[in-house]
Amino acid sequence: MQVAKSPLAVIDSHVHLDFEEFDAERERLVARLKSNGLKGAVIPGVSASQWPKLLTVAERHAFHYGLGVHPWYCTADWGQDIENLSKLLCERRGDPRLVAIGECGLDALHKASWETQLPCFEAQLQLAQRYDLPVILHSVKAHNEVLALLKRYPLERGGVIHGFYGSMQLAQRYVDAGCYIGIGHLLLEEKAKKLQETLVKLPLEHLVIETDLALVSLVKKSGFADKTGGSSLILHLLIEKIAKLQKKSNVLVSEQVFQNTLQLFDL
C-alpha cells in the first residue's frame, strides 16, 4: 500500500490575499493552499483604503497581517495616512495577528512620489520603533537609502527585505541591519544567476520565503502551478531550489525557514 506523503509545512511570509483580484476564488484558493501544507501567511498592508479589507480577510482565514503604506500608494496625503495608521495601531495593539509594520519602503522606479515616499517611510520606521514591531520592507533601486534609514532608526525586532534580488554583499548589509532576506519566485527564473549565487552562500538562518502573490493571473501565467494550487507550490519549489543550491535536504531547509518566519514575526 502506498502511503501519501504529506506536503512540507510552509508559511508564506508575504502574500497579498486581501486584493480584490482574489475575491471570487479566495475561499477555494485558501482551502487548497492549506491542504498543500500552508500553515500560515502574513498579509502586508498597502494603503489606508485597503486596511479594512485586509483585516477582514486576515480574520476570516486566521492569517497574520502587517499595517503600512506601500511606496506605490504613497500620496501627497501621506501625513493623514500616517495619522490613521498610528490610530489603527493603537486600537489593534495586543492583537496577536498584527505582526509587522509594512509593507513600507522606497521605490525609485516610482519617482513621481519620491518626495512623499521618504517622509512616509521614515514615519513608519518611527512607528515600528514605538510599537516594537518588525518591518516588511520594499526596496527597488533604493537599497542605499533604505539601509541608511535603518541605521538612523534602529529596530529592536528588525524586519525582512522582501522580494530580494541582489548580491551576497547586499544581503549581508541587510542581515547586519537586523533583517531577514525574503526570497520569492525570482529565484526560480533561470536567468536569475546573481540571486542563485547569493543563495549558495547565504546562511539558511537568514532566509524566509514568500509568494508575493497579488494577482490570480500571475499564478496562472507563472506556469509553476495551476491557478488554485499555485501559491504553496511556489513555496515548495523555492525550498527545493534553495536545498539544491545549498546542498542540503528539503526537510532541513523547510524546517529552518519555517522557524525563521516564526522568529521574525513572533508567530
- CA–CA separation, 245 vs 31, rounded Å? 31
Which is nearer to Zn ion, 12 or 103 (by Cβ)? 103
Binding residue per annotation — 212? yes
Which is nearer to Zn ion, 20 or 190 (by Cβ)? 20
Minimum distance of Zn ion from residue 76's CB (angstroms): 22
Looking up cell 489593534, which residue turns up?
Answer: 92
What long-range pairs does 187-190 form, CB within 8 A, spacing at least 24? 187/238, 187/241, 187/242, 188/224, 188/234, 188/237, 188/238, 188/241
Distance of CA 18 to the CA centre of its chain: 14
DSSP 25: T
DSSP 213: B
Binding residue per annotation — 61? no
Binding mask 163-192 for Zn ion (x = CB under 5 A): ------------------------------
Q: Segment contacting Zn ion (CB under 5 A): 80-88, 96-104, 195-203, 253-261?
A: 96-104
Q: Helices H, strands E: what count in the chain?
A: 10, 8
Minimum distance of Zn ion from residue 162's CB (angstroms): 6
Binding residue per annotation — 190? no
Number of residues near Zn ion (by CB under 5 A): 1
Minimum distance of Zn ion from residue 136's CB (angstroms): 8
Which is nearer to Zn ion, 18 or 103 (by Cβ)? 103
**Of 134, 148, 144, 143, the residue nearest 165 (C-alpha):** 143
Minimum distance of Zn ion from residue 248's CB (angstroms): 28
Binding residue per annotation — 236? no
**Of 259, 226, 242, 229, the residue nearest 185 (C-alpha):** 242
Binding residue per annotation — 206? no
Minimum distance of Zn ion from residue 120's CB (angstroms): 16
Binding mask 98-127 for Zn ion (x = CB under 5 A): -----x------------------------
Minimum distance of Zn ion from residue 4's CB (angstroms): 33
Binding residue per annotation — 14? yes
In contact, 260 and 180? CB cutoff 8 Å: yes
Which is nearer to Zn ion, 103 or 107 (by Cβ)? 103
- CA–CA separation, 198 vs 213, rounded Å? 23
- CA–CA separation, 149 vs 186, rounded Å? 26
- Partner residues linked to 38 by β-bridges: 10
**Of 145, 197, 143, the residue nearest 174 (C-alpha):** 143
- CA–CA separation, 215 vs 227, rounded Å? 10
**Which grid coordinates are listed for 106?**
522606497
Helix (H, G, I), strand (E, B) or coil at 259: helix
Which is nearer to Zn ion, 198 or 211 (by Cβ)? 211
Minimum distance of Zn ion from residue 24's CB (angstroms): 21
Q: Segment contacting Zn ion (CB under 5 A): 58-66, 95-103, 117-125, 243-251?
A: 95-103
The annotated binding site is made up of: 14, 16, 103, 138, 162, 212
List the binding residues for a divalent metal cation: 14, 16, 103, 138, 162, 212
Contact positions vs Zn ion (CB under 5 A): 103
